[in-house]
Amino acid sequence: MVLAEFSMYPTDKGASVSQYVAPIIDIIDKSGLSYTLTPMGTVIEGQWGDVMNVISACFKQLEPLSERIACQIKIDYRRGENSRMHSKIEKVAQLLGREVMHSTSPHNKTAQE
């Protein structure tokens, strides 16, 4: 199972690129893979080929619209079929003996806005 955190955006479209990022998020959402959107990127979880296909589709969406694209990708592969997107956060909270703030936690104001 792969966890991939990535961000992709055009660098030649000015300070605000939300209109270019929104269709990328739509591709991710329609992929059927588990994902979490954060202010600085998106975490996708799935099999290697499925995750890479989604990232590739995002690039293909953006490529004709921009002369220059920035993309950062971090990948964590672990053999097995178990979902780790939430379990990694739960494990840290267990070790600390308390809840920790994360992008989907109810006490995170950003997650509610």
Task: Please tell me the predicted confidence (pLDDT) of residue 30.
Answer: 97
DSSP string, 93-110: HHHHTS----TT-TT-HH
pLDDT at position 86:
77
Taking alpha carbons only, the member of 79, 78, 58 closest to residue 70 is 58
Query: Residue 22 contacts by C-beta under 8 Å, 6 or more apart in sequence?
Result: none
What are the structural domains, with CATH classification, of the chain?
Answer: 2-81 (3.30.70.930)
**pLDDT averaged per 10 residues, the chain (length 113):** 96 95 96 92 95 98 97 93 78 86 57 43
Residue with tokens 């998020």: 25
**pLDDT given at position 83:** 77
Asked whether 44 and 6 are in contact (CB, 8 A), the reply is yes
